[in-house]
Amino acid sequence: MIKLALLTVSIAASAMSVASSYTPEQVRSAVKQAGGAERFIVEIAQNTAKMSGQMLDDQTQLTGSVAFERTIVYYLRMVNYDKRDIQNISAFRRKVASLLAPSVCTAPLASILINEYRAEYKYMAYSKSREYLFEYGFNRNTCAPSYRW
């Protein structure tokens, strides 16, 4: 179970690897150039959606991404797990979210979008048979240092 959680953490690195190299000034400029946060978030989702179907690691497949308003949603499929394989889905969700939070909340792109433009990064996980497992989101509240999953 922990291995799956750690592999899921790699999603942030995979989906934001290019974006993490930008400075805050470059992010703000890109938002402005796109015509605002909503349009910029749509561009991120569209670029990420081009990776749909790709394996992020040996356990996790990116199946899509969409944007609406200031939220970007990443859809993930845990290709080696059915819902019945995870004993406590709620505890598993908390563990995955808490492991992923530091990398998402401090990444230059996500940090600027979340803290300055009130964006949310949402992750929705499904089993290998496409059963809904869990979801979690990173926003100003869940990225606050005092937040406990």
Domains in the chain, ordered, with CATH? 2-138 (3.30.300.250)
Give pTM, 2 decimals: 0.83
Q: For tokens 């809904």, what's the residue?
A: 132
Q: Which residues contact 65 (CB under 8 A, 6 or more apart)?
A: 15, 44, 45, 48, 49, 52, 72, 73, 74, 75
pLDDT, position 38:
96
pLDDT digits (tens, 9 = 90+) for 94-140: 988 888 899 899 999 999 999 999 999 999 999 999 999 999 999 99
How far is it between the farthest Cα atoms of the chain?
A: 46
Cα torsion angle, 146, 4, 71, 21, sign: positive
Rounded to whole angstroms, the Cα distance separating 72 from 123 reads 9
Higher pLDDT, 83 or 100: 83
Provide the residue count of the chain: 149
Separation CA 115–CA 125 (nearest Å): 25
> CA-CA distance, 63 to 116, in Å (whole number)?
28
